[in-house]
Amino acid sequence: MDTRPGLVVAQSGGPTAAINASLAGVVEAALANPGIGRVLGARFGAEGLLSEDFLDLRTFDRSMWPRIGRTPSAALGSCRRMLRATDVEQVLDALDRHQIRYVIYIGGNDSACTALALHHAARERSSDLRVVSVPKTIDNDLPSTDHCPGYGSAARYLAQSTQDAGLDTEAMRLSDPIKLIEVMGRDAGWLVASCVLGRQDESDAPHVLCVPERALNVDAFIGAMEAALTRHGFAVAAVAETVRDEQGRAVGGLNEVRQADAFGHPYIQGTAAALASALGQALGVKARYDKPGTLQRMSGSLASPVDLAEAYEAGATAVRFVIEGRSGSMVGFRRAPGTAYRCEMTDVDLVEVANRQRVLPEAYLGTDPFGVSSAFSDYALPFIGPPLLPYARLF
């Protein structure tokens, strides 16, 4: 029987195009470390930790992990499960039974809360369990890190898709001159802002942005869209699904049954539909909308190579951190100064991450109430990788 301490890795939250790259980084680093015994994968995140539903990752052919790293979604399965105090104790008991000393939990803000809970409970037991979180969120809203794996690929998808939607609307302007694109991101506008990253001139979509950091005056929004329609002959807006009006009400409205996930985040739907209806009534023209939904979150076809490489490195770094004795930490990114883009891995205290959110700063919002500044593009462009497809126009 292998007496070396074991490692378990789990994935949680909404899958992305890069979360499996982090998984591959964890597994390959763990398999290569002679001090680690069993390498297990918990199926469906915290659910698998609770039910001891583990895969023995040493039994898989090592040639498979590079392919897993390029596969979108969560190869181990994911969940949105908030652990109660009794659940945490149950998980610790299970880890003891399987001789697990190292836990790598890949996920976003809510997953950081789970990892922190396991860390604190282990310390109360005087356990040597070490827990490190690997960031994963297309929302890019985790504090104390320059950016998050998953964001670059989602940003590339939205930047390219917005150009596609813009050309479609430009061609169909005589019948369908207005298009809205409803974007994810909870209460942070990083994803909505990324829709501008493919623009080459002022006629390119999007012409109007609605970020959740700014309360939406619907009349002002209609005015901005009308101005774009007059100037370009068509108008495209990227709107956050969670945008709220000046009274704090969700523009799209909450689901009729007021649904929320396990962490209390409400599901808001219908934002683009509501704004398209308002535009149609006010301007007397047809307004259509697209809602990429989970495609923007985990589409592999437009995954950013930069994002995939950094996600892999974050996973491998997490293994190094636990071996070095760190726990209650998240792998963070610190951007090096200078014009050339380069990031290094850092150790972030999970206390700085759990139950906290980073929204777009004023410097990135700029002065245009329906736009973002050039400083945002300077910040975000490196994440999406090589240039987007080079489109052209005849007129």
From the list 61, 93, 110, 139, the catalytic residue is 139
What are the tokens at 90? 């149950």
Q: Among 370, 35, 361, 101, which Cα is nearest to 211's? A: 370
In sequence order, the β-bridge partners of residue 107 are 135
- The residues, any chain, with a CB within 8 Å of residue 174's CB and separated by 6 or more, are none
Q: Determine the Cα–Cα distance for residues 62 and 42; give it in Å rounded to an integer.
A: 18
Tell me the three-class secondary structure of 241-303, residue by residue: CCCEECCCCECCCECCCCCECCCCCECECCHHHHHHHHHHHHHCCCEEEECCCHHHHHCCCCC
Structure tokens at 92: 């610790």
**Coil, strand or helix: which one is 157?**
helix
Rounded CA separation 120/116 (Å): 6
- Non-local (6+) Cβ contacts of 365 within 8 A are 211, 213, 214, 372, 373, 376
* Residue-wise DSSP of 58-95: GGS-TTHHHHHHT--S-TT-----PPPHHHHHHHHHHH
**Catalytic residue at 93?**
no
Catalytic residues: 139
